[in-house]
A and B are shown apart, each in its own frame.
Chain A
Amino acid sequence: MTDATAEGGATPQRSSLLDLDERTKKRNAAEQRFKAYGIGAIAIGVIALLFLLVTIVFNGVSAFQQTFVTVEIELLEERLDPEGNRNPDEMRRVTTFGYNPLLEAAVANKIEALGLETELSGGALRALLSGGSASQMRDAVLADPDLVGQTVEFRFLASSRVDGYMKGRVTAETVERDRNFTPAHLELAVAMVERGTIEKRFNMAFITGADASDNRPEQAGIGVSMIGSFFMMLVVLGLSLPIGVAASIYLEEFAPQNRFTDLIEVNISNLAAVPSIVFGILGLAIFIQFAHLPQSAPLVGGLVLTLMTLPTIIISTRASLKSVPPSIRAAALGLGASKMQAVFHHVLPLAMPGILTGTIIGLAQALGETAPLLLIGMVGFIASNYPDGVASGFLDPNSGMPAQIFEWAKRADPAFYERAWGGIIILLAFMLTMNILAIILRRRFERRW
């Protein structure tokens, strides 16, 4: 019988363990495939991140540069100061319409001086410049009435079409379809660029300026909403840090194990996952409709964001309180400190770096939040006036950086997209700084027990 089995054809021909059979090869291939899926998944995530960052930088960097036109303007006395006594109050009667002819004449002169020829004249020439040029002139004259009668060199913002041409957004084809900006304008602008009258420079006004109306994208800046965000962050920091720390100390160090404590804990972990827009509804209903706090005020925005950030801060604070070893408490209690003294004098200072790290990360999150701001009226377009002081910074209508970006993204003129991406660069720069600060704090001060 044994011979029979030995002679049977079914004997495995196993020559060496080093030669893999079919099944093992298949299993190993599956192993390799599985590993490749993992690497692929991570690669997709990282590529998405890189693509996002490259898109942001690629689209946004141009917002920090703006096209300017340099023009010498003869500030005629008979137009700007008919009385001739340089009294700003009387000169105020001349509106920007009074300045427009001077502006047109100056541009025409400039074109002639450059040796260019154009069919354009009069008001049509102003399409090269930003709509705010005349008021820029007027402001300069009213600030220094002695300029009247002199020839002064002004640097005006070019109109968004000229700017778009410089940045490749506007081409000969798109100009064909434009009403105010004709191919003749474009030709003229190209010639002026060659002669150095129109040039691109760094645009500080984008970082410090206020939002501008729909048809003046070249003037829009993120500065005012940055101030709005700053005041909101002050409120969030001032409220959520003390409240969050107090709540965490109670829950971590003092709270007895009972129903009430359980209820609080369940509440906190659920609040951390409630959609941010629900907090916006809460802010609208409670702070604005019920408590009659001013609408669109950074104070209200700050309160809403505080409620939203509190769970995050409480969770991270509790973790850092928990990481302080019990021996510290035991030693303090052993030396006669009360429980409160042990916590406030010993545990809290040791947990502080962790608490601050968590708070900064919570603040960074709050800084980027948009949806609740929209509901309490902090929409972008109201960010057009600088606050006068601290009180007005908290109470006057303002917006926040993310809401301002959203506002720009909604507008029809594609010139605003560039602003939106530029605004995102600034927003991310702030968030990055805060996160790096948090990492440094953690590395520098956190103790491993």
Chain B
Amino acid sequence: MDLSWLIVAVLVLGVVGFIAARQRAIASADGDIRTLHSRPNYYGYATFIFTAVPGLLLLCIWLIVQPTYVSSVVIGSLPEELQADSDAAGLAMADVRRVAQGFEAAVDQGVMTPEQVDGLRADLTLVRQRLADAGVAVGSEVEQFTVDAARVMRSLNARFDLIRTITVLLVALGGLALSYLRISPQLRARNITEKAVEYILIAASTIAILTTVGIVMSMLIETRNFFGIYPASEFFFGLTWAPSFGGGSELGILPLLWGTFYISVIALSVAVPIGLFAAIYLAEYASPRFRSIAKPALEVLAGIPTIVYGLFALVTVGPFLVSVFGNDGLGWMGGGRSVVTAGVVMGVMLIPFVSSLSDDIINAVPQAMRDGSLGLGATKSETIRQVVIPAALPGIIGAILLAASRAIGETMIVVMGAGAAARLSLNPFDAMTTVTAKIVSQLTGDADFASPEALVAFALGMTLFVVTLALNVFALYIVRRYREQYE
């Protein structure tokens, strides 16, 4: 049975269980539902949960285990010399999978009969042609052992699929029968249901942890693979970034880190003064009416997708800067893509990140501190500079750090505005590149995933993750500490 139909069948069983259990509960109370422990629907829910959840859980586990087991059996059926080399075995398995998939499609579409598949010999038939007829493209002509392995895989999968369908349905039916038979007026159906729902809620909230674990694990494993073929010391301390897909790449992270740092510094030097002064004005001077217009208007800047800023940098800001600083003007700038281009545009994007959070923080400074200062004769600006800002400083630093982590992780603006050349230079009008831009360029090509040129992206990602995480944790810690101070 098809997977989606199996899921539908389990759910239908659950609904049947719900209706039947509800009826039985009412019947067991002789129609007087006041004698039931819980309202009739809870008996239904409890049965639904006991029917659907075990079945679907089993199905999930099965879906993970079956492919692993089947491929381990199929690998065992491949020729010995292939098994010895794990790379070759992996490639062969990919072929086997495609051929097996092709057989499936061919039989489904009636291009081949199941008997033809079983009697197929690679040396006599053009397997590739047959599979292409069924709409599955196979890279090269197929060897006999691939066909055999694909056949083994197909028959194993067919057998396991059948067992899976039967087992899952049996488990679901068993759950249904068990909970149906248990129904009596004394059964505490509501408590059972609520306990089950609570577990579902807990499961949902652990997804956040699973995501973090997934991020760390996926990058850690690939990073380890990368350091297996490329020395870690050269990655962290190398001064040259020159990937070449033919091999012999130099993959030093320092030029990328420098580009990231330089662009972030320029972005922050745009965003911090503007954002901070905007926040001060909004919090201390603005009338409520002005505030209600200006604050959302600034926040729109944060809602605009980064691709828009990227295009803005590429098409508008870059050429404008070239016309001023380029060869026709001051002669400092070679092309539109440069550190300044990306930095300025990113700075505009970061203004609301600085202003919104700083605004909240300045507002949280107790009014009594302002009143004290004003009462001693200070002007409003003196109060702000000498009392409010020092009091709010830790929080403002937290806001700036959050903006910095945003700047370091920003991708599209630097991909489109900063250029692709990795270089260590002090000239802000040079094109440079960043960690994020290189992750994109190393992983979007046709590179082999096992090559150091592709794997380096995971090491870059890991570096990026660690740096931004550290910044975030530190910033959130400061902001939280600060909030507690005045509460």
Name A residues whose Cβ lies closer than 8 Å to a Cβ of B.
Answer: 27-28, 30-31, 33-35, 37-42, 44-46, 48-49, 52, 55-56, 59, 242-244, 246-247, 249-251, 254-255, 263-264, 266-271, 273-279, 281-282, 284-286, 289-290, 292, 307, 310-311, 314, 338-340, 364-365, 367-371, 374-375, 377, 379, 402, 405-406, 409, 417, 420-421, 424, 427-428, 431, 435
Chain B's interface size range is 35 or more
Q: Which of B165-173, B192-200, B334-342 lies at the interface?
A: B192-200
- Given contacts A273-B402, A275-B468, A370-B306, is CB(A34)–CB(B381) below 8 Å? yes
Shortest distance from the beta carbon of B37 to any chain A beta carbon, whole Å:
12
- In the complex, are the beta carbons of A277 and B381 less than 8 A apart? no
- Given contacts A246-B204, A424-B308, is CB(A275)–CB(B436) below 8 Å? yes
B455-467 interface mask toward A, CB cutoff 8 Å, 1 = contact, 0 = none?
Answer: 0011001001100
- In the complex, are the beta carbons of B305 and A427 less than 8 A apart? yes
- In the complex, are the beta carbons of B305 and A402 less than 8 A apart? yes
Task: Give complex CA distance A28, B378 in Å.
Answer: 11
Which of A281, A338, A365 makes the CB contact (< 8 A) with B219?
A281
- Given contacts A274-B465, A406-B307, A406-B412, is CB(A40)–CB(B200) below 8 Å? no
- In the complex, are the beta carbons of A46 and B305 less than 8 A apart? no
Name B residues whose Cβ lies closer than 8 Å to a Cβ of A.
Answer: 67, 190, 194, 197-198, 200-209, 211-212, 214-215, 218-219, 221-222, 273-278, 280-282, 285, 294, 297-298, 300-301, 303-308, 310-312, 314-316, 348, 351-352, 355, 379-382, 384-385, 402, 405-406, 408-412, 415-416, 436, 439-440, 443-444, 449, 457-458, 461, 464-465, 468-469, 472-473, 476
- In the complex, are the beta carbons of B304 and A428 less than 8 A apart? yes
Task: Give complex CA distance A339, B469 in Å.
Answer: 36
- For A271, the chain B residues whose CB sits under 8 A away are 208, 211-212
Shortest distance from the beta carbon of A308 to any chain B beta carbon, whole Å:
9
- For A409, the chain B residues whose CB sits under 8 A away are 310-311, 314-315, 416
- For B221, the chain A residues whose CB sits under 8 A away are 285
- For A274, the chain B residues whose CB sits under 8 A away are 215, 409, 465, 468-469, 472
Task: Give complex CA distance A424, B308 in Å.
Answer: 7
* A-B residue pairs, 9 tightest by C-beta: A275-B409, A38-B281, A368-B305, A285-B218, A246-B204, A41-B277, A34-B381, A250-B201, A247-B205
Q: Total number of A-B contacts with CB less than 8 angstroms?
A: 250
Which of B211, B402, B416 makes the CB contact (< 8 A) with A282?
B211
- For B472, the chain A residues whose CB sits under 8 A away are 269-270, 273-274
- For B281, the chain A residues whose CB sits under 8 A away are 35, 37-39, 41-42
Query: Quick one: which of B222, B274, B380, B411 has the most chain A CB within 10 A?
Result: B411
- In the complex, are the beta carbons of B311 and A420 less than 8 A apart? yes
**27 A-B interface contacts by CB (under 8 A):** A30-B381, A34-B385, A37-B281, A38-B282, A45-B301, A48-B301, A49-B301, A52-B308, A243-B204, A246-B205, A250-B205, A264-B209, A274-B465, A275-B464, A281-B215, A282-B211, A284-B443, A292-B67, A340-B198, A368-B304, A368-B307, A368-B308, A370-B412, A374-B440, A375-B440, A409-B315, A409-B416
Shortest distance from the beta carbon of B460 to any chain A beta carbon, whole Å:
9
